[in-house]
Chains A and B, each alone.
Chain A
């Protein structure tokens, strides 16, 4: 089977001696929506840097759509579109020129590039800014410009390194929708993010990297199944007593006792709590996870 990305025993030692990657191996299927998570300095950006040739690897193998980067990096690069973490376009160029120029670097003619630039700038809501210098754009617009630029050669794989960092919630959600649509149309997406909610909502498969090593590589569903307990917060219409509880459950009334925290372990059901509240004529107004489920697992895995 040909994978979109196949990484085998990838190692990177920087000049100062720091070993950023200690033998990373990963396989990402075509059409996947894949999350690469890890704390700062874990090796995410180094891995992505090697994929797109911004970082020289020390050893190991990397194939993109079956093309080994050591054999034909130019061919391998054509499959990839990269949205880096930092803004890296020429800030004095117009928005339109940033995108069209990038197409030229992929050998795409100006005529084709201009048609595609219009398509992607419109889709990303930047068409009315096409003649503005790119430095005049807001942070969110600059992020979208980098996505448009990465798509101009219509890559099979789109790598997004923290694409929604510093982006407001509304824009973040519209970017999610856009990326989801791309994935539905067949583009393989590789995402690194600090927003674990983002990874949980968008991604099918996940790898967690820590200290230059992959500590988990599975589907998001399978990972979430390993959760042994979750903490829910319930907002009530009436207050409970300070010592209110449910036998067998850890319940903590908080604030003015109109909110309770309930820890539910595997095999337990929230219905027991609901039934008891109902028996006391207390209604649940809303319910949410105390922390993101993936976040709990992430912290557990990182702490080892």
Chain B
């Protein structure tokens, strides 16, 4: 395929992915909007007003970046894992496999589909947060870069999950038992300065902590960790997961006999 044909193939996958999550918006866009509104109201407003300041900001302002990031992580991941697994399940993935579309284009197309949903939900949650508090972005470039890279990383994670999944249960195991605990313990609701040393050190092994803090730094200008170190870690994970995802596609794991 020449470059123009490759671009058409990529755009076709991306357009189909966006069309998919827009078509089923009551399942994809509405639930995070409702859940995050509840978080803002209960944790941010009702409970947060009794907690007081954290990192020099109201508790509501402190948790908003983490909650935006949480919704981006969850939605990027689940978009790719559910879409790719459904394509496997109903064999429609064969439409792509029989075509001359290169494997890296398939991977990039699905991943950017996940990024699109992650960013779309992130935008919805950001707009909703403005009903509860005011936000001033301290570093626009860093904020955009972190959220984009995080969405890419978790879309890749969702892709690898979908490749290995053999049932719909397998698609939900990682988000339920790994992703959710990592996110909740990743500094969304608190600063790790509040934790005893042992738990602080243990938290440093949680990759989500780096992304949440880097994003919070972009918006509020405060962070528990070095944000540039966080960016390096995210880029490294992206490179590893992209290579692994492509290797699985080239090998045909879970999709070719």
Contact = CB atoms under 8 A, between A and B. Distances in A.
A149 B96 CA distance: 12
Interface in A76-119: 77-78, 80, 82, 84, 86-93, 101-102, 104-109
A74 interface: yes
Contacts of A221: none
A74 B100 CA distance: 4
Nearest to B105: A105
B96 A90 contact: no
Contacts of B2: 107
The interface centre, meaning the residue of A52, A104, A109, A149 with most chain B CB atoms within 10 A of its CB, is A104
A86 B9 CA distance: 24
Interface stretch (A53-61, A166-174, A253-261, A291-299): A53-61
Band of interface residues on A: 20 to 34
Given A54-B257, A101-B12, A107-B6, A90 B92 contact: yes
Given A104-B8, A107-B6, A53 B256 contact: yes
A88 B9 contact: no
A74 B102 contact: yes
Tell me whether chain B's interface is mostly helix, strand or loop, or mixed. helix
B90 interface: yes
Contacts of A105: 9, 12-13, 95-96, 99-101
Nearest to A153: B99
A49 interface: yes
A75 B91 contact: no
A101 B100 contact: no
Contacts of B100: 73-75, 77-78, 105-107
A14 interface: yes
Contact of B90 (A46, A54, A88, A109): A88
A274 B159 CA distance: 71
B13 to A, nearest CB: 8
Contact of A88 (B4, B6, B23, B94): B94
A14 B252 CA distance: 13
Q: Lowest 4 A-B CB distances belong to which pairs?
A: A107-B5, A104-B12, A105-B99, A74-B100
Interface of A: 14, 46, 49, 52-56, 73-75, 77-78, 80, 82, 84, 86-93, 101-102, 104-109, 149
Given A54-B97, A88-B92, A104-B13, 12 more contacts: A46-B257, A49-B257, A53-B97, A54-B94, A86-B91, A88-B91, A88-B95, A101-B16, A105-B9, A107-B1, A107-B8, A109-B8
